[in-house]
Chain A
Amino acid sequence: MKDKTNTYEIILAGSGGQGLVSSGIMLGEAAILEGKQVMQATSYGIAQRGGLASAEVMISSAEIIFQHVQKPNLILALTEESLNLYLPQASSGAAIFYDTTLIQTTFVQKHEKNNLYGYPFTEIANELGHSGVANIIALGVMIGKSKMIKYASMEMVLRKHFSGKTAEMNVKALYQGRRLGEGQI
């Protein structure tokens, strides 16, 4: 899931309001804690909510020259529209993680390939008490599969951004994602 220069190109896609940019920023900040170079770019329409939205994150041990993802290694798709858009990337080697709670599995089965990873992110988020942590659960899975950063770095950033019960729920979501990816749930 990475190239020779230790570069990860990540796309977090879904609809506006799903916290994709915030997740991207936190992922980037976690990588900075490990001394990595980070670039984060956003693409959204004029509306703040609804419609296709995506956040791009690039993590590298070398200078990142171009501002946008060119060959994604890791893609998170939280809506059917975003999965549909990025599905062709799976055959170019990108690992695509999608939410089976929100996306009809029959749609994906037609395209089943090795690089597709479906998990019930939103269902598990609801079990934790808030659908809003679905993206953190997803990051928990993606970190485990790619080893792009350490869980401890991500936890540190979550505790910096949130406080009290919200922080605990987000940290719990991160490690729930780890277990989910390891097949323990």
Chain B
Amino acid sequence: MEDVRLIQGNEAIAAGAIYAGADFYAGYPITPSSEIMTEAAKIMPKVGGMFMQMEDEIASVAAVVGASLAGAKAFTATSGPGFSLMQENLGVAVMGEVPCVVITVQRNGPSTGLATKPGQADIMQIRWGRHGDQSVIALTPGSVAECFLMTVQAFNFAEKFRLPVILAADEVVAHARESFALPKPGMIPLVERKKPTVSPEKYSPFAADADGIAPLAAFGSEYVSHISSSMHGPDGYSNNDPENAIWRINQLHRKIEMHRDEIVLTKSYDIDDMDILVIGYGATTGACRAAVKEARKRGLKAGVLQLITIWPFPDKEIEELAKLVKTVVVVEMNYAGQVAGEVRKVIGSEIELKRVNKYNGQIITPQDIIETLK
């Protein structure tokens, strides 16, 4: 029989991490992500993993990076204020190509803002929070089920592409409870990082294979290697040569670009014969879908594109659907239209772009969207 449970989004994230094989959690609690940490504290010892409460979020990512380099599947969870503190060591993880998963459950800001209320205003911080030429993968779950499934996906991407993956949830999906049939072990394929096959003396931790990914040996194994946040050569040791810097920065970007179509995940609803495209992500997905169903009853031909992968941006998917419509509506819980700006870059100035934004800590409702569709 199926194991259907009434499970909270944060609990589903923790369960998804365990399903994916996570065996290390280090974190510092913060609303609305705290249940992930509570669950990790309960479950980690039972699966032979390790749980550490850290002194702050800076140390949390430091511990996660260290654990991952020692061979663990490591993760942490936080919200805006903590995510800000994590940026420096996330940069280290990008530069060192360290697989790890960082969950940020977005709440209303800026700063400590409305601590218990939802927001989606960290989309640009997720992309650009670190200095320098860098890139990450970020996924936004739109339901409790997706909290579980996209956490597994986040670990798989992190392991496969050797980089930090950010799961950008929000207070709405994190605190909602939904009936969800937990997948049985083996139902979802799991990815393990590529290990070196050469002899230890020939191993270079940043020498990528043809697929753009370099094998990663674990600290403490027979492979002695060096990981540095400063510019380094394939062997991991400092290298100030301009040619090397080009190779290195290209490598950090190209491993994502090469696999872009595998990484970019979207879902579409009711897009047949549409002439209005409604774009939502995370918590707003449900409101978009409900609004479009209602709009169709009223004779408006609208459809929904849900962005699950938010970085790299689903430009091709948006461009393709935007060709079919007269109007694109972007729905998000922030003031500036952080995703709407990216959509504008993709669709150009010919197609009408409308925005539905709310930033008072309340969820966007189907009615809010229907008003804009009229």
Chain A residues packing against B (C-beta within 8 Å): 25, 28-29, 31-32, 36-42, 44-46, 64-68, 70
> 15 more A-B contacts (CB under 8 A) besides A25-B6, A38-B6, A64-B178?
A28-B179, A32-B6, A32-B179, A37-B178, A38-B178, A38-B179, A42-B175, A65-B286, A66-B286, A66-B289, A66-B366, A67-B172, A67-B173, A67-B283, A68-B365
Of chain B, the residue at the smallest CB distance from A24 is B177
- Given known pairs A25-B177, A39-B176, the reply for A66 and B6 (CB within 8 Å) is no
- Our pick among B5, B116, B176, B293 for the contact of A67 (Cβ within 8 Å) is B176
**Cβ contacts A to B, 21 pairs, < 8 Å:** A25-B177, A28-B6, A32-B6, A32-B179, A37-B178, A37-B179, A38-B177, A39-B177, A39-B178, A39-B179, A40-B177, A41-B175, A41-B176, A45-B116, A46-B115, A64-B178, A66-B286, A66-B287, A66-B366, A67-B286, A70-B366
Measured in the bound complex, the distance between the Cα atoms of B4 and A25 in whole Å is 14
Of chain A, the residue at the smallest CB distance from B366 is A66
Measured in the bound complex, the distance between the Cα atoms of B363 and A66 in whole Å is 10
Per-position binary interface string of chain B over residues 268-299, scored 1 when its CB falls under 8 Å from any chain A CB and 0 otherwise: 00000000000000010011011001000000
| Cβ A65 vs Cβ B293 within 8 A | yes
The interface size bin for chain B is 20 to 34
**Which B residues from 1 to 59 make CB contacts under 8 A with A?**
4-6
Measured in the bound complex, the distance between the Cα atoms of B287 and A29 in whole Å is 24
Of chain A, the residue at the smallest CB distance from B177 is A40
* B107 to A: closest C-beta gap in Å: 12
> In the complex, what residues of B have CB within 8 A of residue A36's CB?
179
* A4 to B: closest C-beta gap in Å: 13
| Cβ A44 vs Cβ B116 within 8 A | yes
* B217 to A: closest C-beta gap in Å: 44
Of chain A, the residue at the smallest CB distance from B179 is A38
Measured in the bound complex, the distance between the Cα atoms of B7 and A40 in whole Å is 9
Of chain B, the residue at the smallest CB distance from A37 is B179
- Given known pairs A46-B115, A67-B363, the reply for A32 and B286 (CB within 8 Å) is no
- Given known pairs A28-B6, A29-B6, A70-B366, the reply for A65 and B177 (CB within 8 Å) is no
Measured in the bound complex, the distance between the Cα atoms of B178 and A36 in whole Å is 11
Instruction: Classify the interface of chain B: helix, strand, loop or mixed.
Output: mixed
| Cβ B290 vs Cβ A65 within 8 A | yes
> In the complex, what residues of B have CB within 8 A of residue A29's CB?
6
| Cβ B6 vs Cβ A65 within 8 A | no
> In the complex, what residues of B have CB within 8 A of residue A68's CB?
363, 365
- Our pick among A28, A32, A42, A66 for the contact of B290 (Cβ within 8 Å) is A66
**Which B residues from 114 to 142 make CB contacts under 8 A with A?**
115-116
> In the complex, what residues of B have CB within 8 A of residue A41's CB?
172, 175-177
Measured in the bound complex, the distance between the Cα atoms of B283 and A67 in whole Å is 8
Measured in the bound complex, the distance between the Cα atoms of B283 and A68 in whole Å is 11
> In the complex, what residues of B have CB within 8 A of residue A39's CB?
176-179
Measured in the bound complex, the distance between the Cα atoms of B108 and A46 in whole Å is 13
> In the complex, what residues of A have CB within 8 A of residue B5's CB?
32
Of chain A, the residue at the smallest CB distance from B116 is A46
- Our pick among B172, B175, B179, B289 for the contact of A65 (Cβ within 8 Å) is B289
* A158 to B: closest C-beta gap in Å: 14
> In the complex, what residues of A have CB within 8 A of residue B175's CB?
41-42
* B239 to A: closest C-beta gap in Å: 50
Measured in the bound complex, the distance between the Cα atoms of B176 and A25 in whole Å is 11
Measured in the bound complex, the distance between the Cα atoms of B175 and A39 in whole Å is 11
- Given known pairs A28-B179, A46-B115, A68-B365, the reply for A40 and B6 (CB within 8 Å) is yes
> In the complex, what residues of A have CB within 8 A of residue B176's CB?
39-41, 67
Per-position binary interface string of chain B over residues 298-322, scored 1 when its CB falls under 8 Å from any chain A CB and 0 otherwise: 0000000000000000000000000
Measured in the bound complex, the distance between the Cα atoms of B180 and A38 in whole Å is 9
| Cβ A28 vs Cβ B177 within 8 A | yes
Measured in the bound complex, the distance between the Cα atoms of B178 and A45 in whole Å is 22
Of chain B, the residue at the smallest CB distance from A45 is B116
- Given known pairs A25-B177, A39-B177, A66-B286, the reply for A32 and B116 (CB within 8 Å) is no
* A62 to B: closest C-beta gap in Å: 11
> In the complex, what residues of B have CB within 8 A of residue A70's CB?
365-366
> In the complex, what residues of A have CB within 8 A of residue B116's CB?
44-46
* A111 to B: closest C-beta gap in Å: 26
> In the complex, what residues of A have CB within 8 A of residue B6's CB?
25, 28-29, 32, 38, 40
- Our pick among B4, B173, B366 for the contact of A32 (Cβ within 8 Å) is B4
Measured in the bound complex, the distance between the Cα atoms of B172 and A181 in whole Å is 35
**Which B residues from 170 to 188 make CB contacts under 8 A with A?**
172-173, 175-179
Measured in the bound complex, the distance between the Cα atoms of B284 and A68 in whole Å is 11
- Of residues A25, A31, A67, A68, which shows the largest number of chain B Cβ atoms within 10 Å of its Cβ? A67
Measured in the bound complex, the distance between the Cα atoms of B4 and A32 in whole Å is 7
* A99 to B: closest C-beta gap in Å: 25
Per-position binary interface string of chain B over residues 349-367, scored 1 when its CB falls under 8 Å from any chain A CB and 0 otherwise: 0000000000000010110
* A19 to B: closest C-beta gap in Å: 16
Closest 10 CB pairs of A and B: A40-B177, A66-B290, A38-B179, A66-B286, A28-B6, A65-B290, A65-B289, A32-B179, A67-B176, A29-B6
